[in-house]
Chains A and B, each alone.
Chain A
């Protein structure tokens, strides 16, 4: 069974600083990986996803993530934080070979951006 671990339930950065949100997964097969963002009182919105191919994936709002199989990681980064990036971020994993297996989500990381 797959699982996702997000290191740090709360991350705080200064405006303009690097954003790094960590995600490690366990899976017996190369997984599909996702990052979702949730703004206050809203549903989840897809930021980016990795399925196959290039391991560096670019998403919306300047975010990107790199799939590192050797490290079983899929960390989310953004070079320069903006106040509007304050939100909760969820990493999710799925097994592409098991059709009915739904997404498994991490517990989330709340990002605060300090002016």
Chain B
């Protein structure tokens, strides 16, 4: 198993540009989530999904969209990038939303200028 994969690893955007961060898992996990990590802030939940076709907002959803058309994929879309979205983004998955034990991808480092 590849586990949780994320692409790209690094990205630089200009303010106002849009892009999609890709996340995929091959463990047949129901639950997937996106976090952002900023210095001194820990991990903050952006959006999560408890299964294909079901998504919900986390703590910091503004400026981000998600969809879950398949069990394997959970892309995160930045609609109009802002410097405040400069961060490291992590995707995670778990077998079910009740198991809670999450497996993390390697992260995407995004810089918005």
Contacts and interface: CB of A to CB of B under 8 A. Distances in A.
A96 interface: yes
Contacts, number: 53
B105 interface: yes
Interface in A81-115: 90, 94, 96, 99-100, 102-103, 105-108
A108 B42 contact: yes
Contacts of B56: 100
Contacts of B40: 9, 107
B45 A106 contact: no
A46 interface: yes
A27 to B, nearest CB: 13
Interface in A43-63: 43-46, 49
Size category of the B interface is 20 to 34
Contact of A43 (B97, B100, B101, B107): B107
A23 to B, nearest CB: 12
- The dominant DSSP class at the A interface is loop
B98 A99 contact: yes
Task: For the complex of A and B, list the 9 residue pairs with the smallest distance between their C-beta atoms, beginning with the closest.
Answer: A43-B104, A107-B42, A44-B104, A105-B43, A94-B100, A105-B42, A43-B106, A32-B100, A108-B42
Interface of B: 4, 33, 35, 40-45, 48, 50, 56, 58, 90, 92, 97-98, 100-107
